[in-house]
Structure 1
């Protein structure tokens, strides 16, 4: 693969990475090439009520820690005009994004929503008991990610900033350099380096941080307790919790993007179809009929 600097990576991704597939704890979201959104899975709180959305350019899905059995979740859509729409569980105000503008990327964590503005600043709404929404002083950000109780920001110089709970060391990234992409699991943080290797800190009970041997990685994703790496040849590697088969991706080919829910994994193929493995209790893996899903960078 051709190795690039963080700034080059940002430019290659039209500066701000935009997710076109997203996985919550029990639901799956995908952006179609016509700007509409499709969803399957648990809809107890209306988190799949996206059929009326139009002109969407990116999506995000709130997740829940594996030990939480409430299924509460929300879904976020970024529109082409830089505004944001949200549906789903709103107990902590995580869907109160109607007044946001000039947003270029979105992320959804447990009970909160994070938005990156075109000027490199960041906004957040929702639960803030652990300080995970204290991002008002962030500057010069290129990407954002949200875990259970921590929020991650990638700066244009390739360093990473984190706020929130650090019980498992998931915020210990001060020494990271040359990072071009980030992901946040429930209690772990993943950083993709410009040389195609991957760094990880935080909770590692299931080996979800055992990524030191990975090479030629071009994208990363993190679920509750598993981690995904997309390789330059379109294959996928996975480590961590595999109770539901969410790490059974060794046979995948021609993948251009990955997403991780709590216990299911998504892969977007170059032909605009989607593959899924893992927990399917609520139909969150029933994506076999999907077509015309927007490819990243298009």
Structure 2
């Protein structure tokens, strides 16, 4: 695994080296190993999944881009319904070893969410704003997590929401006939059974301007951009586009979409992958990928 010195890590995050050490002291960065000379050795622990096996779904827990949120975690759902996790664990967001009977997972910033086979939901991690208060949820069919809020899609097509609602990201009580949900930094998107899309929350970058979309079969949400996959294999995008993450108008033959903080991924019918957006860490270097398939349901 690649390692980094303090100055290298500071450069990646975009802060002063002394700030990195201060973050470690405060607990924002987990304590790291040191060389014999006392120098710190940082690793990409949130990406250390090489030993994982029998994984059927994954989720990554950092939605928005900011120098004070460079930590992240990754969770994996195993075929036996248990869950594994690696990465930043200051708030206990990786404490999932006791989970069982899980059928879906989601990760927000500093928390992990699990959907159980009976339609109930479990959560661990930061709960300062009630974003983990899901123990009373019932009949949930799907889950998603933004930075500060948690969303649950019910079997009857209605939607539950908990967490920070300053920008109305949790105002979903009147939604009906929803078949899929996605959550961004401070907005929430729902796909309806008729192929239209609804959205609520922060709309400074027009990430909620989806009212005219039609023929949508899947949705994905980044920090402040929204992606819609159409039934004809083309893709729609609105919102923040500083890194070109919404430049998908020429995509075709797409069968699945996903979105990171500031990049967008599309899986093509031939098993290849396309990507646009921020590529500072090589997250869009997928041109040589082949034989990629959707997980079997």
Task: From the superposition, tell whether residues 248 and 219 of structure 1 become closer, same or farther in structure 2 (CA, over 3 Å).
Answer: same
Equivalents in 2 of 1:53, 1:268: separation in Å?
23
Equivalent in the alignment of 1:244: 243
Structure 1 runs (4+) deviating above 3 angstroms are 67-70
- Unaligned residue ranges in structure 2 (runs of 5+): 1-12, 14-41
User: What is the CA–CA distance in structure 1 between the aligned matches of 2:268 and 2:77, rounded to whole Å?
Assistant: 22
Does the CA-based 8 Å contact 2:63-2:184 persist in structure 1? Answer: no
Shift of residue 69 of structure 1? 4.3
Q: How does 1:147-226 map to 2 (within 5 A)?
A: 147-226=146-225
Give how far 1:263 is off. 0.5
Does residue 110 of structure 1 match 2:109? yes
Please say which of residues 110-119 and 58-67 is displaced more in the overlay: 58-67
SS at match of 1:289: coil
Partners of 1:166 and 1:231 in 2: CA distance: 30
Structure 1, unpaired ranges of 5+: 1-25, 27-42
1:166, CA displacement in angstroms?
0.1
SS at match of 1:169: coil
**Largest Rg, 1 or 2:** 2
Structure 1 or 2: more helix by fraction: 2
Query: Which segment is superposed worse, 145-154 or 251-260?
Result: 251-260
2:4 maps to none
TM-score (norm 2): 0.83
Greater relative CO (CA pairs within 8 A, separation 6+): 1
Q: Deviations over 1:56-106 (max 9, x none)?
A: 111111124234444211111111100111111111111111111100000
For the 8 Å contact 1:270–1:295, the answer to whether it is kept is no
The alignment covers a number of residue pairs equal to 257
Aligned residues: CA RMSD: 1.5
Deviation at 1:292, TM superposition (A): 2.9
CA gap 1:114/1:173 in 2 versus in 1, 3 angstroms: same
Question: In 2, Cα distance between the equivalents of 1:114 and 1:229?
Answer: 24
Q: Distance in 2 between the 1:55 and 1:177 partners?
A: 35
Distance in 2 (alpha carbons) for counterparts of 1:139 and 1:230: 29
Deviation at 1:254, TM superposition (A): 1.4
TM-score, normalised relative to structure 1:
0.83
- SS of 1:182's partner is strand
Distance of 1:52 and 1:291 partners within structure 2: 22
Is 1:45–1:72's contact at 8 Å kept on the other side of the alignment?
A: no
Q: Does the 8 Å contact 2:46/2:72 carry over to 1?
A: yes
Of 282-291 and 104-113, deviating more is 282-291
Question: Within 1, Cα distance between the matches of 2:75 and 2:272?
Answer: 21
CA contact (8 A) 1:64 1:72 kept: no
Are 1:64 and 1:71, in contact at CA under 8 Å, matched by a contact in 2?
A: no
Counterparts in 2 of 1:1-298, with a 5 A limit? 44-298=43-297
Do the aligned partners of 2:56 and 2:295 also contact (CA within 8 Å) in 1?
A: no
Residue range with higher mean Cα deviation, 261-270 or 98-107: 261-270
Deviates more, 1:60-69 or 1:128-137: 60-69
